[in-house]
Chain A
């Protein structure tokens, strides 16, 4: 799926329109816009090609991989190192991961419909976050989580970029409504600090001042000059770090990825000229986005850590030739724990950067490349401050901590920034060159489309964010209660709308935090008019539901409950971070060390958490596949209206990012078109074009059901009413070949119960060989299963099949039947349960050789069962086997009721061998073969057997003994004797003669042909 998508994505550049649609899927494209701006108005050519690159990358990690990712490690300067980072992590880790990412996006797309751009910010974080999780899940090994970290790191970029357009592009008015909550939670605390910083001195930290003074241009040029040598050096330095760290081979890869990621960030940051305060929000975002407890813990640590390494990075900045990555190296300092820390640090570094981009890009609508950025930023600040300040003024519990410790914050800010700055500078140039390259490669495409596309995701997130995170706890409870009352998605959607209204109102009149939500009547929210709600809102609601429910499982959970945070939402993590600060300052050292020691633990615990959460994530993965399919189909259709429909949700309304009026216009019209479509398409991730057949639709509903449930979270997949999806067969043919289903069953090919009954009789009376019967029975079983028939017929079919399988020695099939039978018997359906209890006892004793299993199945036997002949026989066989009583065993073998002897057959060889070994060790000097033949069941014990038969048995026995290495003596009277002493050492177990390479002797060529004919 991914690959298919990839190829498609590559092609599109030629057709701007189609590209838009295709790429619209990917929210991460938002990045493009920042790039455009950062590069400035160097010309449309700049931005446009850029966009292409990004789009490609975002849309499909795979594609970018070959082109961009590879070159990077070897030739850092050439490739789009900076840009690629996103894709690189994904692709490198595994295709499935990429798929996940894509899925996430598609999943979120619905949100786009909702029209609050500002809120997107935090939401994106979510999506990224989730994608990160999914990626981690597939692999349980430790190294992977590490990779996952990086991955999650990568997604952040998009987020940040989202933030920019959202918050800044949006007019100040946004902040009042939706923007506030979102920002609030995520960056709230930090923004506050930012604000302080700014007010205090604009760019208070000395470090910053250095950078800021230089005009962007100046920086840029100098960077460029350094570029060729610098980036490369930094890269190598990173690699070295990796090696020094004790982490195994996997680490180097990670680091590389990290490195690549960095450049991207750096390049972005470069433009802004790194206003320190602005970076802070980014860091806070980072902490939030990193749900992993370990990471969060580490973040403060990193803050503390920078202190020693502080000077270094700084120096680096001035002296570009020095590898910028030294700081991380110092942090690593070669212990395992350090390794984790290091990573986190890296990530931190990443984070700070993105926000800067936001600020700049949105603010400057059309910044020329060479315009002094400082000026722009300043201009921006007022705006920013306004929005932020308003946010802060909202009375939230956790705001206080941040405010009280502003100085701490500032300090931290400066620290954080410092490390990143030097790199940024050095890396920037490389990014540019790369862009050039990519531009040429990609061909000319139209940027605008992408920009617009990028917006959608954030919206969905934004809506989700405000409720759980920003709001007072009681309100959360209120919302929860409201949702709990909802019976279905529709109601939820309406409820959601109502809730939104109520909350917005409350916020507007300032009662949000004062109102007693616990006593607020739910009726205000429920019983609202559902009709008005559009599909989009439903989607949003589902997302909202999803985020609260999933959140508790998310990695950030640990953070949530730190003392400062009053609201349970994950968003508060940022706040908590702020809370840590005082501690950090007071006893930095101890704290640091503590974190170091804990780093490993944390990671581990995270890991375990993942395991536990696996279940919840498995679903998303599946969905992803599905949605991926949808995307693929859409792409197949090219620019057709179908694809439009499918993809629209991904696209957002036009953003203010537009570079030119013309662009804006075009985007506007396009987005309008999309909006129309959005109303119609309920769920974009279900492939419409293919949705023709009955099968497909049914499957679609099933999947949709699954999704709904998944999203609503409170109910599990098991609760889906699968009954509604049961097939009713209409096929009247008695004979049917077995074919493993690859799609939903088609009723016309499924036989109803009465026909199946006939089919069973037919099989029972059939004279054909086992393979034919097995095939027929399997098809009967399948038909029973898809129709969910659980009755005496089902039991009969499985019993018949189990017996036939036993007869033919087909143990795998027998086991399948037996396990089904156990379930059926447990349901109370009558059958030959005792007969099969005996079989299962025999099977356990003779084949699985598991004491615990044996004990439990023995203890499960009822008193009556123990009186049953077959069961008693099985029990005595067990006793004979456990004591090694071969005489008893072969007696029982000959008197076996039912088909017990077939199961014993499979143990006869072993038992005989054991017996002969024991006898040859214990008996001296000889044992007559006739006795062995008699004791070991080669002859019919029943005395009625003629002498001829006995000699037959003798011959077989002597053959068998010879085959097993026994040494035989022929006496003068013709009797054969076993020389026990000689045999003691010579006995061996021969290789089974009839073994076949594929392990299934039933499947020889002839049988294969009869099967297929």
Chain B
């Protein structure tokens, strides 16, 4: 830490105070954002933090002028937080920031216009990020991380401030998205439901009125929730919306959306082009898509195993696993086509043994009982048209469209 003289520290703090108060009185949201955004680690903020650590008694500075003391509480907590943040005491920084955020939100409530929405966004973002960092610190100290949860309830409070009539309501979706991020991180996804309900049912909200950025984020998270519920059509619409409106320059975001959209699309029988996977670096899906194309069960299983952790964490594992049935279907179709080439008359009769043999070639060992089981399931789920003659161990395919395509509908519908 560079040495900062007392006078210099005093100057920096006063300057900051002046800028803060001016920003508020001028309703200059941008400046205010810059003054509050910790995680940007901007040089002015860092130097201010150094100054604060030198000049410990900043609160007296605040109290000296009426102009400053009007926001005394806000500033005092902010300074304390910044100070702790600079020294790396993140838990303390969080606690102080939490107080600051509370004070700020109260102040925000009193501002009639929504000029400070951007600043509020910054506060919401920072509190979440700080909470995450504080939790990391807590866990490394062997304590139970709870700050993110606290941040969640604070964000909920902010949501309450914004959710109402008036110009501030357009900010509600941003807070909602921050809440989503918090809840997804905490694994308390079910808490999203109440927020979603108020967003989607409250008449004060017109979804189109929200900023696109927030709409995309919102659709991304709600789409993910639908993936959890295996409600593929809904997930498809939401994620597609997110993809459509996502800023095309934000490749990372697009990739995040695709990570969920691809499995969803696959489950409803839509296979992406390889270029897409290449472009967005979604290598983990390449083999799966390949397996689906070829009917290669082994490849699918390998791909699943290879990226098991990743798929489990992102929550698409079960979705991908269910693609097995489609792979079986493709395999059957292949067998059927081959049979047709050799003996078109009896091509619609697939012997279970033949299927078992094909599977053995794929190094998958299944006895006839199991194959029969799989076939019944395929027929039951309408992936194969026909019936299974148990006695003769033969699958008799329908002569018309024996392997119906999903055409955007989920399996089994």
Known: A605-B164, A885-B373, A887-B370. A855 touches B312 (CB 8 A): yes
Residue of B nearest to A885 (CB): B373
Contact A854 B318 (CB under 8 A): yes
Contact B110 A558 (CB under 8 A): yes
Q: Give, as a whole number of angstroms, the nearest-CB distance from A539 to chain B.
A: 28
Q: Which residues of A contact B309 (CB under 8 A)?
A: 859
Contact A886 B373 (CB under 8 A): yes
A511-529, CB under 8 A of B: which get 1 and which 0?
A: 0000010110000000000
Q: How many residues of chain B are within 8 Å of chain A by beta carbon?
A: 61
Number of A-B residue pairs at CB separation under 8 A? 149
Q: Scan residues 276-329 of chain B and give those whose CB is less than 8 A from a CB of chain A.
A: 309, 312-313, 315, 317-318, 321-322, 324-325
Q: Scan residues 917-932 of chain A and give those whose CB is less than 8 A from a CB of chain B.
A: 917-919, 921-928, 931
Q: Which residues of B contact A926 (CB under 8 A)?
A: 390-391
Q: Which residues of B contact A694 (CB under 8 A)?
A: none
Q: Scan residues 845-895 of chain A and give those whose CB is less than 8 A from a CB of chain B.
A: 851-852, 854-856, 858-859, 879, 882-888
Of B102, B228, B373, which one neighbours A888 at CB under 8 angstroms? B373
Is B26 an interface residue, CB under 8 A from the partner? no
Of A563, A598, A888, which one neighbours B165 at CB under 8 angstroms? A598
Known: A852-B189, A883-B325. A563 touches B160 (CB 8 A): no
Query: Which of B109, B370, B388 has the largest count of A CB atoms less than 10 A from its CB?
Result: B109
B58-94, CB under 8 A of A: which get 1 and which 0?
A: 0110010010011011101000000000000000000
Known: A561-B73, A597-B166, A928-B390. A851 touches B60 (CB 8 A): no
How many Å lie between the Cα of A931 and that of B103 in the bound state?
72
Q: Give, as a whole number of angstroms, the nearest-CB distance from B161 to chain A.
A: 5
Contact A855 B165 (CB under 8 A): no
Contact A851 B318 (CB under 8 A): yes
Is B163 an interface residue, CB under 8 A from the partner? yes
Is A604 an interface residue, CB under 8 A from the partner? yes
Contact A922 B60 (CB under 8 A): no
Q: Which residues of B contact A925 (CB under 8 A)?
A: 389
Contact A397 B164 (CB under 8 A): no
Q: Scan residues 350-386 of chain B and give those whose CB is less than 8 A from a CB of chain A.
A: 369-370, 372-380
Contact A473 B106 (CB under 8 A): no
Contact A851 B370 (CB under 8 A): no
Contact B321 A885 (CB under 8 A): no
Q: Give, as a whole number of angstroms, the nearest-CB distance from B152 to chain A.
A: 10
How many Å lie between the Cα of A607 and that of B377 in the bound state?
52
Residue of A nearest to B376 (CB): A922
Q: Which residues of B contact A558 (CB under 8 A)?
A: 106, 109-110
Is B138 an interface residue, CB under 8 A from the partner? no
Is A566 an interface residue, CB under 8 A from the partner? yes
Is B156 an interface residue, CB under 8 A from the partner? yes
Q: Give, as a whole number of angstroms, the nearest-CB distance from A599 to chain B.
A: 9
How many Å lie between the Cα of A293 and that of B159 in the bound state?
15
Query: Which of A397, A921, A926 has the largest count of B CB atoms less than 10 A from its CB?
Result: A921
Q: Which residues of A contact B74 (CB under 8 A)?
A: 561
Q: Which residues of A contact B275 (CB under 8 A)?
A: none
Known: A563-B70, A604-B160. A918 touches B228 (CB 8 A): no
Contact B318 A855 (CB under 8 A): yes
Q: Give, as a whole number of angstroms, the nearest-CB distance from A403 to chain B.
A: 16
How many Å lie between the Cα of A882 and that of B412 in the bound state?
13
Q: Give, as a whole number of angstroms, the nearest-CB distance from B306 to chain A.
A: 14
Is B208 an interface residue, CB under 8 A from the partner? no
Q: Which residues of B contact A597 (CB under 8 A)?
A: 165-166
Of A560, A601, A856, which one neighbours B187 at CB under 8 angstroms? A856
Q: Which residues of B contact A786 (CB under 8 A)?
A: none
Is A642 an interface residue, CB under 8 A from the partner? no
Is A101 an interface residue, CB under 8 A from the partner? no
Contact B164 A598 (CB under 8 A): yes
Query: Which of B63, B189, B370, B390 has the largest count of A CB atoms less than 10 A from its CB?
Result: B390
Contact A608 B160 (CB under 8 A): yes
Known: A879-B321, A885-B374, A924-B387. A561 touches B106 (CB 8 A): yes
Of A605, A855, A885, which one neighbours B317 at CB under 8 angstroms? A855
Of B160, B315, B376, B396, which one neighbours A607 at CB under 8 angstroms? B160
Known: A473-B63, A851-B228, A855-B318. A609 touches B157 (CB 8 A): yes
Q: Give, as a whole number of angstroms, the nearest-CB distance from B384 to chain A.
A: 9
How many Å lie between the Cα of A1 and that of B407 in the bound state?
67
Of A518, A560, A859, which one neighbours B106 at CB under 8 angstroms? A560
Contact B163 A601 (CB under 8 A): yes
Q: Scan residues 364-404 of chain A and give those whose CB is less than 8 A from a CB of chain B.
A: 397
Is A666 an interface residue, CB under 8 A from the partner? no
Known: A598-B164, A855-B315, A858-B312. A931 touches B370 (CB 8 A): no
Is B229 an interface residue, CB under 8 A from the partner? yes
How many Å lie between the Cα of A459 and that of B334 in the bound state?
90
Contact B377 A918 (CB under 8 A): yes
Is B274 an interface residue, CB under 8 A from the partner? no
Known: A519-B60, A566-B70, A605-B109. A923 touches B153 (CB 8 A): no
Is B206 an interface residue, CB under 8 A from the partner? no
Contact B160 A605 (CB under 8 A): yes
Is B209 an interface residue, CB under 8 A from the partner? no
How many Å lie between the Cα of A611 and that of B369 in the bound state?
57
Contact A598 B166 (CB under 8 A): yes
Q: Which residues of A contact B73 (CB under 8 A)?
A: 561, 568
Is B118 an interface residue, CB under 8 A from the partner? no
Of B72, B109, B156, B390, which one neighbours A931 at CB under 8 angstroms? B390
Residue of B nearest to A553 (CB): B102
Known: A851-B230, A882-B322. A888 touches B70 (CB 8 A): no
Contact A922 B160 (CB under 8 A): no
How many Å lie between the Cα of A361 and that of B385 in the bound state?
93
Q: Give, as a whole number of angstroms, the nearest-CB distance from A910 to chain B.
A: 15
Q: Give, as a whole number of angstroms, the nearest-CB distance from B97 to chain A.
A: 15
How many Å lie between the Cα of A917 and that of B381 in the bound state?
12
Contact B69 A566 (CB under 8 A): yes
Q: Which residues of B contact A472 (CB under 8 A)?
A: 63
Q: Which residues of B contact A611 (CB under 8 A)?
A: 156
Query: Which of B230, B376, B389 has the largest count of A CB atoms less than 10 A from its CB?
Result: B376
How many Å lie between the Cα of A552 and that of B154 in the bound state?
14
How many Å lie between the Cα of A604 and that of B315 in the bound state?
35
Is B107 an interface residue, CB under 8 A from the partner? yes
How many Å lie between the Cα of A478 and that of B312 in the bound state?
53
Contact B157 A612 (CB under 8 A): yes
Residue of A nearest to B369 (CB): A887
Of B107, B154, B165, which one neighbours A601 at CB under 8 angstroms? B165
Known: A858-B312, A887-B369. A474 touches B228 (CB 8 A): no
Q: Give, as a whole number of angstroms, the nearest-CB distance from A794 to chain B.
A: 20
Query: Which of B73, B187, B229, B313 has the largest count of A CB atoms less than 10 A from its CB?
Result: B73
How many Å lie between the Cα of A885 and that of B325 in the bound state?
11
Contact B388 A924 (CB under 8 A): yes
Residue of A nearest to B395 (CB): A922
Q: Give, as a whole number of angstroms, the nearest-CB distance from B28 to chain A.
A: 17
Contact B373 A887 (CB under 8 A): yes
Is A557 an interface residue, CB under 8 A from the partner? yes
Is B401 an interface residue, CB under 8 A from the partner? no
Contact A518 B57 (CB under 8 A): yes
Q: Give, as a whole number of angstroms, the nearest-CB distance from B111 to chain A.
A: 10
Residue of B nearest to A927 (CB): B390
Q: Give, as a whole number of angstroms, the nearest-CB distance from A865 to chain B.
A: 13
Q: Which residues of B contact A560 (CB under 8 A)?
A: 106
Is B112 an interface residue, CB under 8 A from the partner? yes
How many Å lie between the Cα of A129 and that of B166 in the bound state?
29
Residue of A nearest to B324 (CB): A883
Taking A859-B313, A885-B370 as known contacts, 11 extra A-B pairs with beta carbons closer than 8 A to each other, sorted by chain A number, are: A598-B164, A598-B166, A604-B163, A604-B164, A605-B157, A605-B160, A852-B189, A855-B317, A882-B322, A887-B370, A923-B389
Q: List 14 A-B contacts (CB under 8 A).
A: A518-B63, A557-B106, A600-B165, A605-B164, A852-B228, A885-B370, A885-B373, A887-B370, A915-B373, A918-B377, A921-B380, A922-B388, A924-B389, A935-B369
Q: Which 6 A-B pairs have the closest CB atoms?
A: A601-B164, A608-B160, A922-B379, A859-B312, A922-B376, A518-B60
